[in-house]
Structure 1
Amino acid sequence: MPQFVTKPNNRQLAFDETRLSVYSDRLLEGLETLNKERLIRSVISKLRREEVTSEEISNAFTMAALELVSIEEPNWKFAAARSLLTTLYKKAAYYRRYKSYPDEPYGALFPLISDLVKKGIYREELLEYYTKDQIEELAQTIDYRRDLLFDYIGLLTLTERYLTTDFDGHVMELPQERYMVIAMYLMHKEPVEKRMELVKESYWAMSNLYMTAATPTMSNAGKKVAGQLSSCFIDTVDDSLEGIFDSNTDIARLSKMGGGIGVYLGKVRARGSDIRGHKNTSSGVIPWIRQLNNTAVSVDQLGTRKGAIAVYLDVFHKDILAFLDLKLNNGDERMRAHDVFHGVCISDTFMEAVEARGEFNLFCPHEVKKVMGWKDTNGRPLGLEDFYDETLGQGAFRDKYAEAVAHPLLSRITVPAIDIMKRIMKSQLETGTPYMFYRDTVNRANPNSAHGMVYSSNLCTEIMQNQSATVVEHEELVTKDGQTRIVISKIPGDFVVCNLNSIHLARAVPAGVLDRLVPIQVRMLDNVIDINNIEVLQAQYTNSQYRAVGLGTFGLHHLLALEGIRWESDEAVAYNDNLYERINYLLVRSSMELAKEKGYYPKFHGSDWESGAYFNHRGYTDGQHEGKFVTTAEWKELQQEVQQTGVRNAWMFAIAPNGSTSIIAGSTASIDPLYDLLSYEEKTTYKIANPAPDLSDKTIWYYKTAFNIDQHWSINMASARQRHVDQGQSFNFYVRPDIKATDFLDLHIHAWKAGMKSTYYVRSRALTIEECESCSS
């Protein structure tokens, strides 16, 4: 047993075992089922030297509590979190030079902000828009007891990834201060007369863990030297040398600031196509994807990890077969790109051909434009990728596809559709990808189809907004006042930006706070659009024109377990339907109220919001699908208000994977089932046990784990939600490595027929898949 304890100021005290007992009482307050004597015995066993530091004692408490975490006693994770909090409090007090007490562990907020602004760590706006008195008033709102909501892995994740450090790496912020600074920064441009109340409301929402902001916002809001606040971007690549290389540059610029990127390559000509009339000269899309792969590796995200890029290609593109083999570990390495993710844009006609075991034709988009001669109203050439089926079973795409098939001069590759599907499934089981993007389903539900088309999705398959390529119009030398400049003129395309945050269902729903929560979440998201400075100008412009946001959810399985609802049940399907309808109603209403205050998004006219078709298409106004929490009369009233007033945001609902931020909040990720009752987070020298949230004798019966769940029930729930989600869902399949091909195919066909817009990873215990950090929210 130790004899002496050394404090941070090098003061030495005699070791007193009774202080361990007092400290244990503080850690275990309110955790009555945990045994104090077991904890102390384990702590003493770790203190083997004669002289120890106070930090070593804190670490011993943390490790002792972590070792006791089990399915039977999950609450040790909260004891470990409290021990880590003590260490955080002491370090913050030491580096910021204030006294920390158990009942007052936080220092003054104003000196922290003014010091970090002076050092160039915080942004000047925090002092320009808030007076000292206001900051001190906000400091009174901070409630340190909300730190007790974190379990260990949540607090550790918040500390390691999000809390502000000085330039020497010392943590300067405490958790509640991070939430307050985010709130202050997101609300700093609000009118002065309401700004303070909105900051407090934002802080209330975040600090109670009723919601989480997206990783870029959590990491960067209020910080000067960090990246931007938006999560993901989607670019559409023009079929030209300038378009391809400009796109690569834009992607690199966004990647360095921490953005996840989706890239649609369906307009780029196929291998063997002509270039300026010279036949068989194009090398196709694969070399350009390999170039993007190099960009992902070489332009990392703020020095923390390699860039995250997903590339999408249409299933009817001539290069699709080579594309599907991109991430396989065998074959020609010159045709591989292991560091990007890939997704396939699927048409209804393809899935029908798969079911019928029919043939399917692959075309080069460049040749289609040249041979078929289709043009839009402005005389611009169109390809197959520019059409979709407006109704199920009939529409423009299948008509154009039939025309292309019948044209004698248009070259094509004809293959059994099932062979393409086999290649897709083989890659999914080996690598987890490609993602599936059901383009007809997506575009039929697009509330802004009058202004464009959705070609693909983002890195996490939940963002679905209008896209178009940025095109170089001309370059010229301009001499003015003796100075010569090269001026490049571009026509900006719709370069998609997604701004995300998410509701913590398992806290917000039982607390009954959705009506209060959703409006402040929408305002926070909308403010990101005005605050954010995106280097790629066409992305900034698109963001301002559509003002799209993506409110999401996490903790679904956690909530179902608390409610006593089994995942594989009709009750769960109905619960999803009603809950997500309620959230959508609050979401649309909040955007409408914001439009009254600040104006509707610039491209509102011509949209389904203006015509009212958005509400009719979803069955909200026909009385046949009246929800449990929203009446038809309420929907009709909202429809009329939206038509008169507008909405602030063109798209509003998108369910991201939010892996890391759901860990912070101590809940289950996104809409996924629980992975394991007891999972482990690997660290350099130890593993952290992480039990299911709120695990108890009651909830354990409702925590059937992901690989034991019939995936058809997951599809049924996702289908029920999809009617209410104007964008998409990051929906994962959980399959066993030995799944039969017919059963795997049935899952895909069921997902398509159920009206799902996309599927994300195919997860197998045999696979290790990198999480999307950018969309975590």
Structure 2
Amino acid sequence: MPQLVTKPNNRQLAFDEIRISVYADRVLSGLDKLDKDRLIRGVTSKLRRDEVTGDEISNAFVMAALELVSKEEPDWKFAAARALLTSLYKKAATHRRYKSYADEPYGAFYPLITELVEKGIYRQELLDYYTKEQIDELGASILPKNDLLFDYIGLLTLSERYLANDFDGRVMELPQERYMIIAMYLMHQEPADKRMELVKEAYWAMSNMYMTAATPTMSNAGKKVAGQLSSCFIDTVDDSLEGIFDSNTDVARLSKMGGGIGVYLGKVRARGSDIRGHKNTSSGVIPWIRQLNNTAVSVDQLGTRKGAIAVYLDVFHKDILAFLDLKLNNGDERMRAHDVFHGVCLPDLFMEQVEARGEWNLFCPHEVKKVMGWKDENGRPLGLEDFYDESFGAGSFREKYEEASQHPILSRITVPAIDIMKRLMKSQLETGTPYMFYRDTVNRANPNRAHGMVYSSNLCTEIMQNQSPTVVEKEELVTKDGQTRIVISKIPGDFVVCNLNSIHLARAVPAGVLDRLVPIQVRMLDNVIDINNIEVLQAQYTNSQYRAVGLGTFGLHHLLALEGIRWESDEAVTYNDHLYEKINYLAVKSSMELAKEKGRYAKFEGSDWSTGHYFTSRGYTDGTREGKFVTSSEWSELAEEVKQNGIRNAWLFAIAPNGSTSIIAGSTASIDPLYELLSYEEKTTYKIANPAPDLNEKTIWYYKTAFLLDQHASINMASARQRHIDQGQSFNLYVRPDIKATEFLELHIHAWKSGMKSTYYVRSRALTIEECESCAS
């Protein structure tokens, strides 16, 4: 045993075995099945023989507990979290100069805010909008006991990535304070008479882990940093030199702020097309994608990681074959872009031709506009990309495609549709991408189709909102008051902004809090729109016009396991249908109530919300598809209320991947199945075992893992959800490396026919897969 313990103030005390025992009791409080003696033996084996610091004792408890984590005893991950908590409490107390006690581990809240505002770490608004008395009241509302909800990896992730440190990297902010600061900042512009109530409600939602904010909000809300609160953006590139380079600049500006970017390139002319009448001069989209690739690498996200950019192209674009090979590791490196992700936009007609083994024509969008002469009501030229099947007030895509295919002058490349699909699937198995974006399905279901077109999606394939390119109108020298300036005039396009947060299904549903939870989540998302300051002005403008948000979910497999529902069952499909209908109903109702309070979004008139088509097209009001939790009469009443009062947000529902935030909450990611019963997080010198959430003798039978599940069952559940999701869902396919081409194709055909709007990564691992423990007898 050590002889001495050195405290943070360099005081030395005699090592006391009784205090180790008391510490162990605190770490194991409520974890009755865990063996205290095993923990203490592990701790003492890690302590030096002469003297140790208090921090070394805490770390010894962490490591000893982590070494005991197993599928049989998963709760050791909570013991390790409590040891880490003790270390955080002590460090914060030392750096903030207060005494921390086991029953009162948090210091005063007001001094924390004043100190960090003064240091330039917190934003001044926290003091401008809240009095000392109010901050003291909010500090008294903080619940340190909710820190016990974290498992080790969740708490470690939160502490390393999200908690506020000072400029010397010292711990200042504790977990519950982070949640309260987020709540205060998101609600600071609310009316003074209701602000405090709303702050407490938002804190309740986050502190109890009924929901998580998206990573940018979690990390940046209330902090005086360069980052912003929105998760990702989508740009549509104009077919002009100015448009292409301006887009690259905009992408760089957003990427440095931590945003994920989607870029639609379907309007850019193909390789070999003419430029100003000069034949065969265009280099096509690939060189511009390589420019974006360089931007992703060179403009990192606040110094933490390289930028994240996804590029999308239509399957009828002449450059599609080169585009599909973008990320392959062989071939001409001048035609590769390894640091971006890519997605393909697919019309129904192409999928039909794949099934029929028919031919497919590829066109240059610039030539189509020049030769075909299609125009919109304002006389602007249109290309094939501007149509979809059952287009709102226009011809359908298949009509326009056939017209273009029969035109005697318009050039085209004709290839078997199945050959394109083979190239696509080959890339997916090798690289995980391209993503699939089913453009007809998306646009038919778009509640704002009267106001625009959805060409592509975002970095994670769940955001689907109206898009259009920003166009440079003119550039001129202007002299005023003796000063000459260059003034550039642009017509802003619809530049999509994603504002996200997510419901923790495995906590919120069993607790029965959805009715209370969803309204505060929608309000939090709506407030992000007003608070956020986006450098790219067309994005700021689009955000204000549509006020789009994306309420999401995570912990689906966790919830199904708790409910005793097998993933590969009709019961799971039905459960998804009813649950997501309820969430959608609550989201629409919450947005309608906000519209009554704050006003409808600017482009409400003419939308499917205003006409009622949104409700009738989904079978909500006619009694043919009565839900378990929401009746047709309730939907009809809500549809009438929306017609009368409007709705605050043009889009409401989108399921993001939730990688980091689901880890913090200790649950399964998004709508994904569990990857492994026992996974490992690699650190520099050790591995952290991470068992499935709430793993026990009951739930293990419902935790069949991703690569062992029938992917058709996953598609069936996603299809049931999709009816209720006005945007999309980040849906991954998990396939074995030896999957047959016909089986792989069947999955894509099934996803398309089932009404899914997109698929995200194709995940494959070339490893021997052990027998499913959840299925073993």
TM bucket normalised to smaller: over 0.9
One-letter code aligned to 2:490: K
Rounded to whole Å, the distance in 2 between the matches of 1:355 and 1:467 is 30
Rounded to whole Å, the distance in 2 between the matches of 1:612 and 1:104 is 54
Rounded to whole Å, the distance in 1 between the matches of 2:45 and 2:137 is 46
Rounded to whole Å, the distance in 2 between the matches of 1:73 and 1:494 is 52
Rounded to whole Å, the distance in 1 between the matches of 2:311 and 2:525 is 26
How many angstroms does 1:25 deviate by?
A: 0.6
The answer for the alignment partner of 1:301 in structure 2 is 301
Rounded to whole Å, the distance in 2 between the matches of 1:716 and 1:448 is 26
The 5-angstrom pairing of residues 467-486 of structure 1 reads 467-486=467-486
One-letter code aligned to 1:419: D
Rounded to whole Å, the distance in 1 between the matches of 2:194 and 2:622 is 39
Give yes or no for the alignment of 1:80 onto 2:94. Answer: no
Rounded to whole Å, the distance in 2 between the matches of 1:613 and 1:225 is 43
Rounded to whole Å, the distance in 2 between the matches of 1:90 and 1:279 is 71
Rounded to whole Å, the distance in 1 between the matches of 2:231 and 2:750 is 30
Rounded to whole Å, the distance in 2 between the matches of 1:481 and 1:172 is 50
The answer for the alignment partner of 1:220 in structure 2 is 220
Rounded to whole Å, the distance in 1 between the matches of 2:390 and 2:595 is 29
* Deviations, residues 713-752 of structure 1 (Å, cap 9, x unaligned): 0000000000000000000000111111100000000000
Partner SS, residue 755 of structure 1? coil
One-letter code aligned to 2:212: T
One-letter code aligned to 1:296: A
Rounded to whole Å, the distance in 2 between the matches of 1:29 and 1:118 is 38
Rounded to whole Å, the distance in 1 between the matches of 2:764 and 2:496 is 31
Partner SS, residue 419 of structure 1? helix
* Deviations, residues 138-187 of structure 1 (Å, cap 9, x unaligned): 00110000000000000000000000011111121000000000000000
One-letter code aligned to 2:727: Q
One-letter code aligned to 1:593: E
Rounded to whole Å, the distance in 2 between the matches of 1:437 and 1:223 is 36
Rounded to whole Å, the distance in 2 between the matches of 1:559 and 1:765 is 26
Gaps of 5+ in 1: 768-777
* Deviations, residues 360-401 of structure 1 (Å, cap 9, x unaligned): 000000000001010001110000000000189x96100000
Give yes or no for the alignment of 1:736 onto 2:736. Answer: yes
Give yes or no for the alignment of 1:13 onto 2:17. Answer: no
Rounded to whole Å, the distance in 1 between the matches of 2:139 and 2:497 is 33
Partner SS, residue 296 of structure 2? helix
Rounded to whole Å, the distance in 2 between the matches of 1:622 and 1:634 is 11
Give yes or no for the alignment of 1:139 onto 2:116. Answer: no
The answer for the alignment partner of 2:412 in structure 1 is 412
Partner SS, residue 45 of structure 2? helix
The answer for the alignment partner of 1:617 in structure 2 is 617
Deviates more, 1:613-622 or 1:46-55: 46-55
Partner SS, residue 745 of structure 1? helix
State the superposition RMSD in angstroms: 0.9
One-letter code aligned to 2:730: S
The answer for the alignment partner of 2:598 in structure 1 is 598
How many angstroms does 1:49 deviate by?
A: 3.0
Rounded to whole Å, the distance in 2 between the matches of 1:329 and 1:524 is 43
The answer for the alignment partner of 1:771 in structure 2 is none
One-letter code aligned to 1:514: L
The answer for the alignment partner of 2:111 in structure 1 is 111
Rounded to whole Å, the distance in 1 between the matches of 2:589 and 2:217 is 24
Give yes or no for the alignment of 1:179 onto 2:179. Answer: yes
* Deviations, residues 561-606 of structure 1 (Å, cap 9, x unaligned): 0000000000000000000000000000000000000000000000
Give yes or no for the alignment of 1:571 onto 2:571. Answer: yes
Partner SS, residue 46 of structure 1? coil
Rounded to whole Å, the distance in 2 between the matches of 1:169 and 1:95 is 11
One-letter code aligned to 1:683: K
The answer for the alignment partner of 2:655 in structure 1 is 655
One-letter code aligned to 2:24: S
Q: TM-score, normalised by structure 2?
A: 0.98
How many angstroms does 1:765 deviate by?
A: 1.9
Instruction: Work out whether residues 506 and 559 of structure 2, in 8 Å CA contact, stay in contact via their aligned partners in 1.
Output: yes
* Deviations, residues 399-440 of structure 1 (Å, cap 9, x unaligned): 000000000101001000000000110000000000000000
Rounded to whole Å, the distance in 2 between the matches of 1:488 and 1:55 is 58
The answer for the alignment partner of 1:289 in structure 2 is 289
Rounded to whole Å, the distance in 2 between the matches of 1:519 and 1:395 is 39
The answer for the alignment partner of 2:757 in structure 1 is 757
Rounded to whole Å, the distance in 1 between the matches of 2:543 and 2:377 is 25
One-letter code aligned to 2:668: T
One-letter code aligned to 2:468: S
How many angstroms does 1:50 deviate by?
A: 1.1
Instruction: Work out whether residues 179 and 203 of structure 2, in 8 Å CA contact, stay in contact via their aligned partners in 1.
Output: yes
Rounded to whole Å, the distance in 2 between the matches of 1:101 and 1:226 is 35
Rounded to whole Å, the distance in 2 between the matches of 1:706 and 1:239 is 42
The answer for the alignment partner of 1:263 in structure 2 is 263
The answer for the alignment partner of 1:45 in structure 2 is 45
The 5-angstrom pairing of residues 504-515 of structure 1 reads 504-515=504-515
Partner SS, residue 343 of structure 1? strand
Rounded to whole Å, the distance in 1 between the matches of 2:391 and 2:475 is 42
Partner SS, residue 465 of structure 1? coil
Instruction: Work out whether residues 69 and 689 of structure 2, in 8 Å CA contact, stay in contact via their aligned partners in 1.
Output: yes
Rounded to whole Å, the distance in 2 between the matches of 1:380 and 1:49 is 80
The answer for the alignment partner of 2:773 in structure 1 is none
How many angstroms does 1:226 deviate by?
A: 3.5
* Deviations, residues 425-457 of structure 1 (Å, cap 9, x unaligned): 000000000000000000000000000000000
Rounded to whole Å, the distance in 2 between the matches of 1:46 and 1:738 is 45
How many angstroms does 1:766 deviate by?
A: 3.9
* Deviations, residues 94-135 of structure 1 (Å, cap 9, x unaligned): 111110000000000000000000111100000000000000
The answer for the alignment partner of 2:775 in structure 1 is none
Rounded to whole Å, the distance in 2 between the matches of 1:15 and 1:171 is 26
The 5-angstrom pairing of residues 317-336 of structure 1 reads 317-336=317-336
Rounded to whole Å, the distance in 2 between the matches of 1:169 and 1:341 is 33
Instruction: Work out whether residues 391 and 397 of structure 2, in 8 Å CA contact, stay in contact via their aligned partners in 1.
Output: no
Rounded to whole Å, the distance in 1 between the matches of 2:519 and 2:369 is 46
How many angstroms does 1:15 deviate by?
A: 1.0
Instruction: Work out whether residues 271 and 280 of structure 2, in 8 Å CA contact, stay in contact via their aligned partners in 1.
Output: yes
Give yes or no for the alignment of 1:552 onto 2:537. Answer: no
Aligned residue-pair number: 766
The answer for the alignment partner of 1:244 in structure 2 is 244
* Deviations, residues 229-249 of structure 1 (Å, cap 9, x unaligned): 000100000000000000000
Gaps of 5+ in 2: 768-777
After the TM superposition, list the runs of 4 or more consecutive aligned residues in structure 1 that deviate by more than 2 angstroms. none
The answer for the alignment partner of 1:280 in structure 2 is 280
One-letter code aligned to 2:473: E
One-letter code aligned to 1:479: T
Rounded to whole Å, the distance in 2 between the matches of 1:559 and 1:766 is 29
Rounded to whole Å, the distance in 1 between the matches of 2:226 and 2:765 is 35
The answer for the alignment partner of 2:383 in structure 1 is 383
The answer for the alignment partner of 2:164 in structure 1 is 164
Rounded to whole Å, the distance in 1 between the matches of 2:225 and 2:545 is 28
Rounded to whole Å, the distance in 2 between the matches of 1:116 and 1:469 is 41
One-letter code aligned to 1:497: V
The answer for the alignment partner of 1:353 in structure 2 is 353
Rounded to whole Å, the distance in 2 between the matches of 1:172 and 1:6 is 22
